[in-house]
Amino acid sequence: MRKKLIAANWKMNPPPAGWDGKNSPYRPDKKIDVAVFPTHIDLQQCIAAGLVAGSQFGRPEVSGAFTGDVSLKMAKYLGCTYALCGHSDRRQFHAETDAFVAEQADAALALGLIPVICIGETAKERAAGKTKIVLERQMKALPMDPRIIIAYEPVWAISRGDPAVKPATTSDAEETHAFVRSLLPPHLRGKVRILYGGSMNGQNAKELLLQPNIDGGLVGGASLKPEEFRAIVEAAIEIPHP
Ligand code: PGA
């Protein structure tokens, strides 16, 4: 069974209003997995308030001369459950390579953190017909372990706060998810969860989540609006797990 996971990627934003309330949509649910990825500054208070959380980034080294960084070990120590690895913001603005993303995923697994590993092609790569080549390259570097979670996030569909950005069409998303699943070794194809990320919102979530190869969402912009995020969580709750 692949339990749906709806994860809020708050990026460099404070937790949204009401995040720690009794009725907060960011709280764990009985039927599906719900998680938040706050800034490193906010992680501790989110975990203390009972949310299931993950780090947006963590270095594989335990400690050392890496000014401004935190290690995955520190994230684990704080009580994180998940570790986001290789988000396109990190690949783009921090020059993270496939090899470095794989190192993070390895280190996360060794620490008992669940790596949520982001893959996805840019608009330029897509226009050049290179989507599959890019995904193959990104997947090839990764540890093939049943605990990993993949987040397919086409970079051109990530909203970056712009409501004009459109998500992948449902059929395109499902087709690409099926392709990503085919890149997993046969014994992991039924086990590894593949999330969709890129302009998922309260309106389009149900249709995306109904697809057989889409096991949840990594939600950016819409996760900063509690009622929008609640609608996504509720859509996921209604859909049976494959
Ligand atoms: P978005 O971001 O939902 O705002 O498109 C997704 C992400 O970057 O993880």
- The residue ranking higher by pLDDT, 241 or 132, is 132
* Ligand 1 and 221: CB distance under 6 A: yes
Verify whether ligand 1 is closer than 6 Å to residue 184 (CB atom).
Answer: no
Q: Is the pLDDT of residue 241 over 90?
A: no
pLDDT in tens, 70-103: 999 999 999 999 999 999 999 999 999 999 999 9
pTM above 0.95, yes or no: yes
Distance 136 CA to ligand 1 centre (A): 22
HSE, side-chain direction, 13 A CA sphere, residue 197? 32
Q: Is the CB of 153 under 6 A from ligand 1?
A: yes
d(CA 13, CA 5): 21
Res 242 pLDDT > 80: no
Q: Where does the pLDDT of residue 163 fall: very low under 50, low under 70, confident under 90, or very high at 90 and above?
A: confident
Tell me, what amino acid is at 189? R
233 lines ligand 1 (CB under 6 A): no
What mean pLDDT, rounded, does the chain reach?
96
Task: Tokens for 234, please give them.
Answer: 């509720």
What is the Cα–Cα distance from 151 to 231, expressed in whole angstroms? 20
Q: 């594989």: which residue's tokens?
A: 60
Residue 145 pLDDT > 80: yes
How large is the average pLDDT for residues 188-204?
97
Catalytic residue among 96, 103, 153, 228: 153
| C-beta of residue 208 within 8 angstroms of C-beta of residue 196 | yes
User: Active site includes 136?
Assistant: no
Six-digit token string for 209: 């989540």
CA 67 / ligand 1 centre spacing (Å): 27
**Mean pLDDT of all residues in 110-123:** 98
